[in-house]
A and B are shown apart, each in its own frame.
Chain A
Amino acid sequence: MRKFLTLALTLAAVPSAAAAPVTLTYWQYDFASKVDTMNKLIAKFEAQNPDIRIRQETFPYDAYNQKVASSVPAGQGPDVVNLFYGWLPQYVDSGYLQPLPARDFPVAQIDKTFVPMVQTSKIGGQYYALPTSVRTLAVFYNKDLLRASGVLTPPRTWEDFIAAAQKVVKGAPPRFTTLGFGIQPDGQDYHVVREVLVRQFGGSPYSKDGKQVAYDSDAGQKAMSFYTDLFTKYKLGTPNFFPGNNSYRDAFIAGKVGMIIDGSFAVSTIQKGAKFGWGVVPLPVLRGNGVRSNFGSYWVNGITKNAKGDKLAASVKFLKFLTSEDTQRTWLQSVGEIPASRKLSNDQQLRRDPVYGPFVQALPFAHSTLFVDEAGQRKAWVDAINTVILQGAAPANAVKRAAADEQKILNGYYK
């Protein structure tokens, strides 16, 4: 009898041991170095977990959010998905993402081990997704152009920044031949006004819960005046200097711009394209108060509602692997994005790196904005800035306009 039982149990156990491995689908957008790195990481993960297979699918960046969004109502799509952090509120709201199991991802531990801006992904006290890497902003400058214009040290304060740009700029509106500063409101600049300048002038862009616009204030007006003065008063440059999608960056790479503000994600493009000496310095501070601030953004990996049972367990394993320090280090080396872990970003060698250092140093004071409609919220700012630089509106009115437009979007979402 016992023999029979053992046999029966063994037989029952055999099928599950020999069962096909769990297959997970992972989605991210199509960016060559990211896809290659992920393929290598997947091979490594599968070697460690022979019972899990990962299938990576990628889509063009322009269509990515749309593709993910349309898979929601259909109940199809990936088990683990890569998303821009700014899309999270909508995806959490739709029930598309499941909260990370607290047992495997304790909230307190994430708060402690990841850089502060990651807390934007904590919604209702729960984390829904985690990044491998993060990005901040810094000033890229053309060493050759600055030196030729008599600027020997790159700027540390906004006052120096303006003085340096004024020496570099050639031509006058509307015909510039060289820009001192590659001004571009719809590039990274509107983040600079909202998350950097508003704070440097002593304000705060939003209420603590992110539901109320708070930049319609003295600080907001000063920030808007300061930024638009770069165009109207100091004539450091002009938007859309080069045609195309990445005007300011392309113009910088072509050697026609002294300085631009861009994210760490631009490093590899500039490294490959620029045929001159260039460097990176932290975002400037105001000489008066020296307050530092930065805008941080990141892409997160979350688990969708499609992952259940075995798939959920496998997804948790995969997500732990994707957010591990080992993976973060691989990501930095092959993709060039800076690690999301506090420990790695405190690494002295990384902080002293001439290119990555300024981005890494900004992590402790980098803020992320909680978007509920990323495109709409950007448009509110870009239009407001354009009323000043294209139509001569008063900066104070422009701030009011941005605030009204954006508050309307927030109200529509939080109703």
Chain B
Amino acid sequence: MATTSKLRGGRPAARAPARTGSLRRHQIRTAYTFLLVPLLFFLVVRFIPTLMSLRLSLFDWNILREQQPFVGLENYRTLLEDGRFGQALRNTALYTLIGVPVQVALGLGIALLLGRVRALRGLYRALYFAPYVTPIVAAAWVWQWVFSPQFGPVNTFLGWLHLPAQPFLTSPGQALPTTAALVVWQNLGFQVVLFLAGLAAIPRVYYEAAEIDGASGAQAFRKITLPLLNPTIVFSVVTGTIAYLQLFTQVVNLNFTDQGGPLGSTMTVALYIYQLAFGRYQMGYASAVTVVLFLIILLITLLQLRFLTRRYDA
């Protein structure tokens, strides 16, 4: 956006009456030519498959069958009675409700603390960012050891505190929060970086003025930091929510032999789609689930943008 405004601002000075029109047209043509490439890419890679999956959801489309009959809304009707889909939907909602607030709050908290750190600043930042760049598969593997009921350091630690050992990932009741903890831990680095940038963008003069007016730290946080961080928070919540609604890789790798288990307790909608499509080849039914997930994500994102975005006038 900054680039466009600079261009527009720069142009009048260089204006030569006769040539402007053709140059302008030329620039526009060039711009559209360049835009055409990504547009084509999006059409072929994104939009067409999306429309195709919408169409596919109306068929009983099994790869391993010769006939792929049209069934209308039958797949959607089946969805309503599918207990596993219901469970996947509830789990996905739970992941989002646990994960997003925790990672936003922790990310902001750590960013505020890091803002005060003077010594070894780079090291601290690197430490928090490391999980974000660690391959998820490797992280999931380590997580299995860390939370192992038998050998895990977490249970050893609980033992020192004379607390009973916990089953964590092997229990239907604890597996979901444990998985959510892994995702939060992984995303935290990114959240911190986001908030550090957001905090750095707030002009110091506001805080100086607040100090002169005798505002407390808490007041400054509530009246200056939070409002001016709003765009960052909205971005973080919206992208975080979408990521949780599409949660897949962590769940798959935490329990490789019983993916989404134990007893479906960590199953997500995205994983269910994968299992239906590529484990059982029910492409039509999987597409119906995909369409439902797409609509849910669209709706939630629109709602969030509507209610979270605020304009603050100085």
Contacts and interface: CB of A to CB of B under 8 A. Distances in A.
A288 to B, nearest CB: 33
A69 B141 contact: no
A187 B257 contact: yes
A223 B79 CA distance: 34
A69 B281 contact: yes
A95 B263 CA distance: 35
Given A176-B150, A244-B141, A245-B256, A386 B261 contact: yes
Contacts of B261: 382-383, 386
B177 interface: no
Interface string A181-199: 0001011000000000000
A290 interface: no
A72 B258 contact: no
B165 A73 contact: no
A59 B280 CA distance: 19
Interface in B39-63: 63
Nearest to B156: A175
Given A69-B63, A174-B150, A390-B262, A245 B171 contact: no
A241 interface: yes
A247 interface: yes
Contact of B280 (A176, A184, A375, A387): A375
Interface string B263-285: 11000000000010011110000
Interface stretch (A42-50, A86-94, A269-277): A86-94
A72 B64 contact: yes
Contact of A243 (B64, B148, B167): B148
Given A93-B65, A244-B144, A386-B262, A391 B172 contact: yes
Q: Which bucket holds chain B's interface residue count?
A: 20 to 34
A91 B280 contact: no
Contacts of B279: 375-376
Contact of B149 (A69, A72, A175, A187): A175
Given A243-B145, A373-B280, A186 B258 contact: yes
A383 B280 CA distance: 17
B170 interface: yes
Contact of B144 (A95, A171, A243): A243
Contact of B155 (A93, A175, A383): A175
Contacts of A176: 150
Contacts of B278: 66
B161 to A, nearest CB: 15
Contacts of B313: none
A84 to B, nearest CB: 14
Nearest to B159: A175
B257 A91 contact: no
Interface of B: 63-66, 141, 144-145, 148-150, 155, 165-167, 169-172, 255-258, 261-264, 275, 278-281
11 contacts: A70-B63, A72-B63, A93-B64, A174-B149, A175-B155, A175-B165, A176-B150, A177-B150, A376-B280, A382-B261, A391-B172
